[in-house]
């Protein structure tokens, strides 16, 4: 057990009962091509880890967002599990410092490859599950992810201001705190302009207008986001 793996266990808050599991989780398939004595890589663990990760996040998202429909829950889970985000978590954990690759892979920067990091993260989850069981794995995975609301808000598309606003207010105010109200409609039937105000409970957060209700609501949400970000800046 080298220093990098010992440091990783300290970051995880878990010392492996079977250190070989941890080492296997961080063994890239390229090692098999170089070392005649190497019998396995992290590919099988990756398969199991993907399933464990989906269960942990499905359960947490289901609990955290009791009012949301299946489609919204599925989309949130997808964002949290997709490869580029798993690779980001692997980087935060500094798995690249522990990943074993062959000499050619090391020279080619394989330790920083997104796919290799994603696989290593999933394999690590499986290793935790096999070493310590579901409850410990669940705790560590959720600790790694941290605040899911903040994670999700950061991943929402820039052109989804309503979604960003919802994610921002949800932790403190719940899922049903926002409402959008059409305050005025002007123009001819074929050239309507809608004015919309978004309310947080009984507080008007922002207003906007557009040639459709959807565009007006998005404009109102953008205005509300600016207000909340400005307020947050004053408290920092």
Q: What is the 3-state secondary structure (H, E, C) of 68-95?
A: CCHHHHHHHHHHHHCHHHHHHHHHHCCH
Contact 173, 179 (CB under 8 A): no
Provide the annotated active-site residues.
50, 122
Residue 217 neighbours by CB under 8 Å, 6+ apart: 162, 180, 196, 198, 208, 210
| Model pLDDT, residue 187 | 83
Q: How far is CA 149 from the centre of its chain?
A: 9
Place of tokens 């719940």: 174
Alpha-carbon distance of 28 to 110, in angstroms, equals 9
In the block, residue with structure tokens 């941290």:
146
Q: From first to last of its 236 residues, what are the pLDDT tens digits of the chain?
A: 589 999 999 999 999 999 999 999 999 888 886 655 556 889 999 999 999 999 999 999 998 877 677 877 888 899 999 888 999 999 999 999 999 888 877 777 878 888 999 999 999 999 999 999 999 999 999 999 998 877 887 776 656 888 889 888 988 888 889 999 999 999 887 778 899 999 999 999 999 988 888 888 988 998 999 898 888 877 65
How far is Cα 16 from Cα 210, in angstroms, rounded to an integer?
Answer: 57
What number of other Cβ atoms are within 10 A of residue 13's Cβ? 10
Tokens of 228: 């909340």
Contact 1, 19 (CB under 8 A): yes
SS3 state of residue 114: helix
For residue 109, what pLDDT is reported? 81
Q: What is the reported pLDDT for 14?
A: 96
Report pTM: 0.67
DSSP secondary structure of 47-73: HHHHHHHHHHHHHHHHHH-TT--HHHH
Side-chain-facing half-sphere of 26: CA atoms under 13 Å: 23
- CA distances in angstroms from 186 to 118, 190, 191, 209, listed in the order given: 52, 11, 8, 10
């Amino acid at each position: 057990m080298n220093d990098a793996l010992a440091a990783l266990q300290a970051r995880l808050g878990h010392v492996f009962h079977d250190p070989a599991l941890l080492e296997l989780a961080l063994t890239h398939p390229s090692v098999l091509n170089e070392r005649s004595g190497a019998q396995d890589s992290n590919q099988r663990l990756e398969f199991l880890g993907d399933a464990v990760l989906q269960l942990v996040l499905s359960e947490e998202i289901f609990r955290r967002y009791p009012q949301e429909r299946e489609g919204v829950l599925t989309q949130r889970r997808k964002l949290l599990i997709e490869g580029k985000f798993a690779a980001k978590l692997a980087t935060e954990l500094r798995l690249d410092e522990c990943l074993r690759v062959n000499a050619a892979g090391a020279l080619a920067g394989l330790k920083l490859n997104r796919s290799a990091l994603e696989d290593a993260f999933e394999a690590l989850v499986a290793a935790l599950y096999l070493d310590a069981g579901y409850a410990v794995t669940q705790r560590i995975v959720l600790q790694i992810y941290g605040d899911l609301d903040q994670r999700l808000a950061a991943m929402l598309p820039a052109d989804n201001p309503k979604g960003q606003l919802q994610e921002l207010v949800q932790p403190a105010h719940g899922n049903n705190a926002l409402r959008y109200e059409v305050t005025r409609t002007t123009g001819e039937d074929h050239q309507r302009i809608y004015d919309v105000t978004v309310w947080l409970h009984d507080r008007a957060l922002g207003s906007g207008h557009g040639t459709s209700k959807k565009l007006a609501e998005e404009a109102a949400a953008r205005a509300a986001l600016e207000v909340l970000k400005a307020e947050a800046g004053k408290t920092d």
